[in-house]
Amino acid sequence: MSLPSAALASEITLQSTDGTLKFVGEFIDFQDDHYIIKTNLGNISIGSAGVTCAGDACPDLAAAEAQPAAQPAAPAEFVSGPVTLQSFDGALKFEGELIAITDGNYIVRTQLGDLQIQTNSVTCEGEPCPKVDVASLEPAQEEELKPRDVDDIRVTLTSFDGDLKFVGDLVDITNGKYVIRTNLGELRVSASTVSCEGPACPAVGGEILETAQADDSAPIEINYTISGSELIGENMMPLLMSGYAASKNAAVKMTDQPEQGGAVASLIGDNGNGDNLGSYLVASTSTEQAFQALLAGEAQIAMASRRIRPYEVQLLQNAGAGDIDGADQERVIALDNLVIVTHPDNAIAQISTEDLKGIYSGLITNWSQLGGSDAPINVLTMAPETASRSFFEERIFDGKGAGKNNRQTVVESDADMAAQVQADPNAIGYVGYAFQTGTKPVTLVNACGIPSVPDAFSAKTEEYLLSRRLYLYNRADNLDAEAAQFLEYAVSENADAMIAKSGFINLDVARRTQSETDARAVSLENTKAGTRAEQNAISEMLAEMAQHDRLSTTFRFRMGSSRMDEKARDELPRLVQYLKDLPEGTEVTLVGFTDSVGLFNKNQSLSISRASQVLNEINTAAEGSLNGLNFKVMGFGPLAPSTCNDTDDGRALNRRVEIWIRKGQASG
């Protein structure tokens, strides 16, 4: 029996009675004694037996009728594609892309990474499910763990938004993933997406001791000053300091020190019981003031929510600060999406940038003008001096401002914006990536009709229209060894978990399946070819997409130069490490693209040449460590643009090299 559903997107929390599993998501339906909820793992079906439900949308179980347990699905021969894996007791259900069956395990790709689930612990539904007796795929006997108290190896992995929780025995930490043994077999979860609790967990973040209000008469001796963007200084820097402290077996004591210009992060050795290892003043001001502080020599490190401008580079070079936009002084540490959000009940799923401009300029005032309900649009915006509003208006209004619109309501923070959108069915606003929970994120469609989804993968590829890079800069003449060590930590894989925990998007390499239903594939199908060469290239690209997954690492180049831009340069070591962990013989294809200026044949040749250039860069950085992989290069010229080709910035985004991996070849 199916119970009447509460409003779509109403949030519920399901908790197992033993407390080992917790799922938070949008309630979809209740069928066959199972809750169906939407999470970032996809739709998950969880049996009502053994779990409690909390939330206004929880159904009345007294109205449910008992249903017989579902029978295991008929096995099928392995092919890559979407599957549903369900535990035999029906209590847990996972949906994802089956990419391999190896060593008695299904490897399923999800937004939390590749999950490894034993074939003999679940049923499999879907075309890719094997048409063989799964008993023949039973895993070999695993090597026994060293004798330890079970409490020593029991860990709890929780997603940073708190929506997902896994409890099991920690088996290994390998290739940036926690491997835990649960009643579903071994699960592999990316360490950059979850926090780990338990004695066996590695130290990825030092303790942040209670924030204290300083005694104005006793200023703290400052060893280093980090100045700039409030977005980074208040939301990310304390956690980065925490992670850096952990790498030095220390804890962080945060002290508000307004007389000295900000908050002071003091590193206390011996996990908070030892000596002061150094104090960092974190002055949260603005990006513009960050570069002024560097210019005056008042800061060693600058935090910036945009790239340094040419005139700022010149001023700093003239002042003896060095090559400020060079590899040793400019670092991309994270990404952020400014997400357009509406109430979860709003029927509008996507908005064009032109319509968004109309909403914020006061020309579009009713949702019915966009195909929605007949209701006024309640427009929310940030205060004029905030970085988010400046970035929003720069991207949507080309830096010219939104004009006077007296119908806008100004809010003070992302949290306030999200709360007001959740409370108002007719509201629209914009928030940082970390604050979209509980609202409905909206897909943006640019002037060329290309949609962009505000998810983490699109931020990493820089194909979301309101994605931005976050930077750290330093002078060359006043940076000592200790501050340099902090910068090295901030751009390392060790900092990824802290960046994700702070709500930003780290530079960890992600992998996504490409299919014929993807927006890019659909757009490519509808592309009108002008020449036979274009038509052949379209057919070839669609065929190759069906056979390959795409990595988030995307190489772009500085304007008018063959040099990689700063993000590509910083991501190269991460890509090399990711490729090292792939099985020997994996096929890796570098796929080049160009802008639309010039003839198709010439652009296709240019895109192949650019892909070959990136392959040379990879091989140089790898120093022979990737000889076991099979590399190919391809190029499709101006096909499948990321954005419009009508501006210099747009053309620069379209000149890129992507990394594709043959389907069915799992990551390490």
Quote the CA–CA distance of 130 and 84 in Å, as a whole number: 13
Averaged pLDDT, 47-73: 65
- Helix (H) or strand (E) run with residue 619 in it: helix 600-622
Strand pairing category for 164-174 and 154-159:
antiparallel
pLDDT of 144 strictly over 60: no
What average pLDDT does this structure show over 265-278? 89
CB atoms within 10 A of CB 441: 18
**Type and span of the H or E element at 213:** strand 208-213
Asked if pLDDT for residue 69 goes beyond 70, the answer is: no
DSSP 363: S
- Structural tokens at position 622: 């790898």
Give kind and range of the element (H or E) at residue 228: strand 224-229
- Whether the predicted pLDDT of 137 surpasses 60: no
CA distance 56 to 262: 42
User: Higher pLDDT residue, 379 or 508?
Assistant: 379
Distance of CA 389 to the CA centre of its chain: 22
Place of tokens 């499999």: 124
- Cβ-proximal residues to 36 (8 Å cutoff; 6+ apart), any chain: 27, 28, 29, 30, 43, 44, 45
Under the banding of pLDDT at 50, 70 and 90, the label for residue 221 is confident
Res 187: pLDDT: 76
Mean pLDDT to the nearest integer, 191-214: 71
Identify the top-confidence range among 64-73, 305-314, 395-404: 305-314
Cα dihedral sign for 555, 559, 563, 569?
negative
Q: How far is CA 648 from CA 408, 449, 545, 558, 599, in A?
A: 32, 18, 28, 11, 18
What are the tens digits of pLDDT across the range 22-52? 777 778 778 767 787 776 555 676 777 767 8
Q: State the helix-helix crossing angle for 481-490 and 237-247, rounded to 10 degrees.
A: 110
pLDDT at 548 over 70: yes
Per-residue model confidence (pLDDT) at position 17: 65
CA 395 to chain centre: 21
**In angstroms, rounded to a whole number, what is the distance separating the alpha carbons of residues 27 and 9?**
6
Per-residue pLDDT tens over the stretch 101-135: 877 778 887 655 667 777 776 778 887 887 655 44
Average pLDDT score over residue span 161-184: 76
Burial status of residue 38 (CB atoms within 10 A of its CB: 0-12, 13-18, 19 or more)? middle
Q: What token pair was written down for 503?
A: 């709500």
Q: Work out the percent of the chain whose per-residue pLDDT is above 90.
A: 40
Which region among 254-263, 414-423, 489-498, 631-640 has the lowest average model confidence (pLDDT)?
254-263
Helix (H) or strand (E) holding 616: helix 600-622
pLDDT at 140 over 50: no
Q: What is the mean pLDDT of residues 604-630?
A: 94
Task: Flag the least confident range among 198-202, 261-265, 394-398, 520-524.
Answer: 198-202
Distance of alpha carbon 537 from alpha carbon 480, whole angstroms: 52
Instruction: Return the closest-CA partner of residue 621 out of 567, 551, 570, 545.
Output: 570
pLDDT tens digits, residue range 561-581? 567 888 888 889 999 999 998
User: In a 3-state reduction of DSSP, which class is residue 2?
Assistant: strand
Residue 226 has pLDDT above 50, yes or no: yes
**Beta strands in 499-601, from DSSP E residues, in sequence order:** 511-513, 548-556, 587-593
Helices and strands counted in the chain (H then E): 17, 35
Does pLDDT of 153 surpass 50? yes
Least confident of 1-5, 536-540, 544-548: 1-5
Give the pLDDT confidence of 334-388 residue by residue, as tens digits: 999 999 999 999 999 999 999 999 999 999 999 999 999 999 999 999 988 787 8
Higher pLDDT, 326 or 340: 340
The pLDDT value given to residue 478: 86
Percent of the chain past pLDDT 70, that is, above it, reads: 82
Closest CA to 122 of 164, 81, 94: 94
pLDDT band per the 50, 70, 90 thresholds, residue 74: very low
Strands 11-16 and 22-31 come out as antiparallel
For the ranges 152-166, 271-285, 615-629, which has the lowest average pLDDT?
A: 152-166
- Residues 287 and 229: beta-carbon distance below 8 Å: yes
Res 205: pLDDT: 67
Among the listed residues 515, 518, 500, 401, the one whose alpha carbon sits nearest the alpha carbon of residue 452: 518
**Mean pLDDT score of the chain:** 82
Domains and their CATH numbers in the chain: 11-63 (2.30.30), 208-329+475-501 (3.40.190.10), 337-461 (3.40.190.10), 510-662 (3.30.1330.60)
Instruction: List Cβ<8 Å contacts ≥24 apart for 397-405.
Output: 397/357, 397/360, 397/361, 402/360, 402/361, 403/361, 403/362, 404/362, 405/360, 405/361, 405/362, 405/379
* Helix ranges (DSSP H) in 278-339: 287-295, 310-318
Buried-state track 61-92, b at ≥16 Cβ within 10 A, e below 16: eeebeeeeeeeebebbebebebbbbbbeebbb
> Stretch 169-183: mean pLDDT, rounded?
78
Q: For residue 299, what pLDDT band results from cuts at 50, 70 and 90?
A: very high
Distance in angstroms (rounded) separating the CA atoms of residues 123 and 396: 48
CA dist 138 and 103 (Å) reads 8
Q: What is the pLDDT of residue 36?
A: 78
